[in-house]
Every structure is written in C-alpha cells, then in structure tokens.
Amino acid sequence: MAKRETDFNIPPISPLVGSTIPNFFRVISMGKIALRLIPTLLLTFLVILIATPFQLYEYFYFRNKVKNHKFNKPPVFIIGHWRSGTTHLHNLLCQDPANGFTTTYHAVFPNNLKSKWIFKPFMKLNMPDKRPSDNIRLSTEFPQEEEFALGNMTHATFYHFFYFPSINDLLYEKYIRFHGISSNEKNKFKSKYHELLVKAALNTGKDQLIIKNPVNTGKIKLLLEMFPDAKFIHIYRNPIVTYLSTVKFYNSLLPTSSLENYEDEYVIQKIILNYKNLMNDFFETKDLIPKENLYEIRYEEFEKDNLFYLKAIYEKLKLKTWDNAERFLSDYIQAQKHYEKNKYKITKAELELLLKEWGFAMEKLKYKTPENLDVI
C-alpha cells in the first residue's frame, strides 16, 4: 500500500478514544490491525482507561434520566447521502436556539458527558480547526452527526467501516438494513440510540432535536418504529458532484482512521456500491413517511436562497420557532458568504462508470452531467 498524504493532521490517537473498554475490544476484533498502528491503539486505550471511572459515574447519573425521559416533540432527521449538503443544513438549523443536537464533543466522548470538564480541553488541543474535505470549521460545541457517537457506544454501526474498510458490506447489511441479526440485538441498538438522543437533549437543554446522519437515509423503517411522528428533511445533490466530494472526504479521513491496510481502488468500489444501496433503500422506504412529515430539497436550489427554503421547511414540518430563529439563521448565512467550495475534475472512465451505476438515481432525482464539469 502506497503512503497516503492527508491534511487531517491529528495526534496518533484513534477516534475510538471515547469508547468504553468492552466496546473498544469488540471493535478492534472486527478486522486485522496493521502492525504500524499498534502504538496508536495503545495510546488510545490508555486514555480509555483514564476515562473509565468517569464512565461508571456517568452510567449511574444518567440511568434513570434516560429511562424516564419523554420527548415532547418528535425529532427532525436530516437525511441524504454523504456530501449532499447535510452538514450545511444541519449547522443552519442548529442556529435556532430552540433546537438541540449532538455536539462534536458528545460524538467523540458519548460516555463522558459529565466529565467533559476533563476531556473537552484534551479534545480541543487535538482536533483540527477545519474539516479538510470541505474547509468547514470544527469546534467541540458545533453540531455533529450522532453515528460517530454510536461507534463509541456499540459495535452496531456502519461507521466501523472507517476502521475496517474490508467489512463494509457486512456492516451495511447488519447495521443499516438490520439483516442477519437477532431481534434482541436490534432492540439493544434501539436502546443505545434512544440513550444517545436523550443525552443530546439533556446536554443541550433542548427537547427539539435536529439529527443529521447520512446512514439514517437507509434506516427509515427503524426510525419510524422508534419515532412514528418523526419528521424528515431529505437533501440531495447531483450524484456526479456527490461522488467527487465523497472521494475527497474518504481520502482525507481514511488515512487517519483506518486500522488496517487497504487499497484505494477498493474504497472507490465501496463508495459506488454504498450510494447505490443507500439511495435504493431510501427510494423503497420513502413512502413509509407521512407526506406531511417529509420535506425534500435539491442542494443546488437550497444554496441559492437558504433563508427562503429554511422558512419553507419550518412551515411544512410545523416547527413553531421561525419568528425567533430567523435572525440567528440570517446571521449565520451572512458569516458563510466567504466560504470557498471545492473544485473537481473527473476522468472520462469514472464518468462513464458513474452514469452506468448511478444512472437510476440521476433519472429519479432529475439530474444530468454538470455542464461545468472538468472531464480529463
């Protein structure tokens, strides 16, 4: 495997640093660890050992709170394939003071919320200022997708692909489609997910949760089992641009997260397969969502007039806080005006492959090959 360059410069500690001891060992047993990464895992485990007594306190502190918590408002799930505008939409909606979310700190240390006074400074020192895949600012208190948190709470998450790319297909079948697992294991996952969302509400002090997670695009049935009145915002983007952005994202993240050796070509194959699976699963289950609880939007339209479409989202989903939220959303939009988007090139062979493999989505979502795409 050739040495890879990455601009995601972090210390030699795995994102598993926020895990529990049992979960840490269960996850690292999922694949074959590259010998060069043993020191990284040893340092990660040292931090987990230090965190363990605080995790025990956390368990007893939150046990009854999680068990007795009732959501007064159904959660709002932002769904859509990776790199389709989900992060931008999430950040915007979380500017509303009425909305709660999973913070970036919570996503890394889901078992240490009560001891964040210890571990948050540690995290601040060891995280980059911007996400290298798209230059979006990072902070411990910014909104983050909760699938990362699940990875440090349970083995039952697709995101362990980032540690072991070789088990991508197995993880997708078991923890997005929930095929080949027992009802008991599925119920344990639901319990962990419920715990995570309750703690997000308690941590932010808000009961209206805005949850952004691309993986949830394929979990509609499960989410409706847990939250029958849940509301959904599906944001989508031209598949060709989505592919190029996803490749850049994986090339930035995998070199710092993977615990095994992998080939770049294999990862490209999985990017193509995962999009096909995720979008097909969404199209097949989309109609389970009551029409009044689903808002769909093209990213290309959304970026032209954020505020117009945000108001439409509030109206369609009957979110009651628009009058107070509007000025916070406007301020955030103004602050993002100097944000520079990535520019992409694609080979003719890649483009032909995408048109073949993702043509079904382009047709269903009414997209064509971008006119300004640089084909080389």
Residue whose token pair is 């349970």: 154
Q: Does the pLDDT at position 346 exceed 80?
A: yes
Q: Does the pLDDT at position 8 exceed 50?
A: no
CA atoms within a 13 Å half-sphere pointing along the CA-CB vector of 342: 18
CA-to-CA distance for 113 and 150, rounded, in angstroms? 14
For residue 10, the model assigns a pLDDT of 52
Q: Does the pLDDT at position 5 exceed 70?
A: no
Residue-wise pLDDT tens digits, 124-148: 877 666 655 555 667 788 999 999 9
For residue 77, the model assigns a pLDDT of 98
For residue 371, the model assigns a pLDDT of 83
Q: Give residue 376's pLDDT band: very low, low, confident or very high (50, 70, 90).
A: confident
For residue 103, the model assigns a pLDDT of 96
Kindly list the distances between the CA atom of residue 22 and the CA atoms of 217, 258, 324, 360, in Å, as whole numbers in the listed order: 29, 20, 44, 42
Domain ranges of the chain: 15-343
For residue 2, the model assigns a pLDDT of 41
For residue 344, the model assigns a pLDDT of 76
For residue 129, the model assigns a pLDDT of 65
Averaged over 248-254, what is the pLDDT? 91
Residue-wise pLDDT tens digits, 27-71: 999 999 999 999 999 999 999 999 999 999 999 999 999 999 999
| Spacing of C-alpha 13 from chain mean position | 20
- Burial class of 314 by CB neighbour count within 10 A (0 to 12, 13 to 18, 19+): buried
Comparing CA positions, the residue from 89, 130, 71 lying closest to residue 314 is 89
CA-to-CA distance for 349 and 354, rounded, in angstroms? 9
The chain-wide mean pLDDT, for the chain, equals 92
- CATH 3.50.50.60 given to domain 15-343: no
For residue 83, the model assigns a pLDDT of 95
Reported pTM: 0.93
For residue 159, the model assigns a pLDDT of 97
Averaged over 207-232, what is the pLDDT? 97
Q: Does the pLDDT at position 304 exceed 60?
A: yes
Averaged over 203-227, what is the pLDDT? 97
Asked which of 16-20, 206-210, 275-279, 370-374 is least confident by mean pLDDT, the reply is 370-374
Averaged over 164-190, what is the pLDDT? 97
For residue 207, the model assigns a pLDDT of 87
